[in-house]
């Protein structure tokens, strides 16, 4: 019988290079959500998984297993070569599939027969997901959030990155969602993360914090596809609110830097969503300017016409305000003001 390990037993072990998680589900399943840090070595392709699943439901378990064996036998030499390379860097390979059944169990049994240290995650991804749902509210319970607000383009994300680099605890909500939280928020980033992946990344950011004082950015409850859990959103609303300001020229420079890198098609698609709010004439003008590489004037107009009025419509009470000329210096000012020690 192949050995199982619970995620609760594995979590601390994963902090060293001795252990690594290997997701044997399909590339499609892996792309949707996985355990952060896991490597995808799929047993089946997306198409093969669908064929095996159909056979299981419509024919028989034996027929599904036969189709599965045929599919895996073609890929096994390549898989084995990949796993040997991974094993050179990590002593213990921990495999998981959707529920810790046939897919992960079969590869663990095979590797154990070859005297390779292989473990199966008990209950697979489903059990990990249950663990995160149970643990995330607990790790968030004692957190106090210092929440950075400010008009679009003031560089709040860059300030968070500088804070993190200096050793402060940071909760990067937009990074966890893979979305910047606005109409143009997905430009250049690809697909936003699913809710499950979002919550997994939230958990990872909060569980290893050094203190209970955590910097984050003020967000709406929904970021892309992801919804901030109520118990974390309550902490944002009740947190220590800080305003980050910047000159219009700095803001335009930040926006162009963040959004413009072979992203014209994404920009134009996002601008078209604003037609009802800003009218066809303005959007047509913005799109023409994008096509002529006049990104700065589009960014400036969007902030004046669209983003700034929305920000001013929701005023906050701030305990501190700082102008962001340089994100690294702004981070130093914030850490000094809130007596946060460098963790470097």
DSSP state of 171: E
Q: Can you tell me the distance from the alpha carbon of 151 to that of 312, in angstroms, rounded to the nearest whole number?
A: 9
What pLDDT score was predicted for residue 70? 75
Q: Can you tell me the distance from the alpha carbon of 264 to that of 244, in angstroms, rounded to the nearest whole number?
A: 28
Q: Produce one character per residue of 15-49: b if its CB has 16 or more CB atoms within 10 Å, e if not.
A: eeeebbbbbbbbeebbeebbbeebbebbbbeeebb
User: What pLDDT, in 10s, does the model give residues 286-310?
Assistant: 999 999 999 999 999 999 989 888 8
Cα end-to-end distance, the chain, whole Å: 45
Residues of the chain with CATH 3.40.50: 141-337
For residue 37, give every residue at least 6 positions away whose Cβ sits within 8 Å of its Cβ, in sequence order, or none. 14, 20, 21
Residues of the chain with CATH 3.40.250.10: 4-132
Half-sphere exposure at residue 146, Cβ-oriented, CA atoms within 13 angstroms? 25
The mean pLDDT value of the chain amounts to 90
What pLDDT score was predicted for residue 187? 75
Q: Taking residues 100-119, report their average pLDDT.
A: 87
pLDDT at 27 over 60: yes
User: What pLDDT, in 10s, does the model give residues 308-324?
Assistant: 888 877 778 899 999 99
**CATH number, span 141-337:** 3.40.50
DSSP state of 132: H
pLDDT at 2 over 60: no
Per the CB < 8 A criterion, the answer to whether 219 and 174 are in contact is: yes
The pTM score is: 0.89
Per the CB < 8 A criterion, the answer to whether 239 and 146 are in contact is: yes
pLDDT at 344 over 60: no
For the ranges 98-102, 122-126, 149-153, 269-273, which has the lowest average pLDDT? 98-102
As beta bridge partners, residue 94 has 21, 119
Q: What are the DSSP E strand ranges found in the chain?
A: 4-5, 19-23, 39-40, 92-96, 118-121, 144-149, 170-171, 213-217, 222-223, 226-227, 240-245, 320-323
What pLDDT score was predicted for residue 287? 94
Half-sphere exposure at residue 2, Cβ-oriented, CA atoms within 13 angstroms? 28
What pLDDT score was predicted for residue 343? 65
What is the secondary structure of 210-251 as a DSSP string? SSSEEEEE---SEETTEE--HHHHHHHHTSEEEEEE--HHHH
Per the CB < 8 A criterion, the answer to whether 63 and 90 are in contact is: no
**Could you give the residue numbers annotated as active site?**
97
For the ranges 118-122, 181-185, 237-241, 309-313, which has the lowest average pLDDT? 181-185
Instruction: Supply φ then ψ for residue 122, to 5 degrees.
Output: -60, 125
In CATH terms, the superfamily for domain 4-132 is Rhodanese-like domain (3.40.250.10)
Q: Can you tell me the distance from the alpha carbon of 144 to that of 212, in angstroms, rounded to the nearest whole number?
A: 6
What pLDDT score was predicted for residue 309? 87
Cα–Cα distances (Å) from 8 to 47, 130, 133, 143, in that order, read 33, 11, 13, 22
Grouping H, G, I as helix, E, B as strand and the rest as coil, residue 86 is: helix
Per the CB < 8 A criterion, the answer to whether 153 and 327 are in contact is: no
What pLDDT score was predicted for residue 127? 97
Question: If 0-12 CB within 10 Å is exposed, 13-18 middle and 19+ buried, where does residue 209 land?
Answer: middle
What pLDDT score was predicted for residue 292? 93
User: What pLDDT, in 10s, does the model give residues 68-92?
Assistant: 777 777 888 899 999 999 999 999 9
What pLDDT score was predicted for residue 45? 85
User: Rounded to the nearest 5 degrees, what angle is found at the Cα of 124, between the Cα atoms of 233 and 83?
Assistant: 115
What pLDDT score was predicted for residue 190? 78
Does 63 or 226 have the greater pLDDT score? 226
Q: Produce one character per residue of 280-291: b if its CB has 16 or more CB atoms within 10 Å, e if not.
A: eebbeebbebbe
């Amino acid at each position: 019988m192949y050995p199982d390990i619970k995620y609760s037993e594995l979590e601390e072990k994963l902090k060293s290079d001795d252990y690594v998680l290997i997701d044997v589900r399909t590339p499609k399943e892996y792309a949707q959500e996985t355990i952060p840090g896991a490597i995808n070595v799929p047993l089946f392709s997306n198409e093969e998984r669908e064929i095996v699943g159909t056979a299981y439901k419509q024919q028989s378990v034996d027929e599904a297993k036969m189709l599965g064996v045929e599919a895996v036998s073609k890929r096994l030499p390549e898989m084995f070569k990949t796993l040997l390379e991974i094993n050179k860097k990590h002593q213990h390979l921990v495999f998981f599939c959707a529920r810790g059944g046939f897919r992960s169990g079969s590869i663990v049994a095979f590797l154990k027969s070859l005297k390779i240290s292989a473990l199966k995650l008990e209950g697979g991804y489903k059990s990990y997901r249950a663990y995160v749902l149970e643990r995330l509210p607990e790790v968030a319970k004692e957190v106090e959030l210092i929440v950075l607000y400010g008009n679009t383009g003031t560089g709040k994300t860059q300030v968070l990155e500088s804070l993190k680099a200096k050793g402060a605890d940071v909760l990067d909500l937009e990074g966890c969602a893979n979305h910047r939280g606005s109409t143009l928020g997905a430009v250049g980033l690809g697909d936003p993360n699913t809710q499950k992946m979002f919550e997994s990344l939230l958990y990872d950011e909060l569980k290893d914090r050094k203190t209970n004082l955590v910097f984050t950015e003020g967000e709406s409850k929904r970021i892309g596809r992801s919804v901030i859990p109520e118990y974390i959103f309550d902490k944002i609303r009740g947190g220590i609110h800080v305003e980050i300001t910047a000159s219009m020229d700095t803001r335009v420079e930040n926006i162009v830097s963040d959004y413009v890198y072979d992203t014209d098609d994404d920009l134009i698609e996002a601008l078209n969503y604003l037609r009802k709010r800003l009218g066809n004439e303005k959007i047509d003008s913005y799109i023409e300017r994008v096509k002529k590489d006049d990104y700065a004037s589009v960014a400036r107009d969007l902030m004046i016409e669209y983003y700034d009025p929305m920000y001013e419509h929701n005023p906050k009470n701030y305990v501190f305000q700082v102008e962001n000329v340089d994100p690294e210096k702004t981070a130093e000012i914030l850490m000094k003001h809130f007596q946060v020690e460098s963790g470097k």
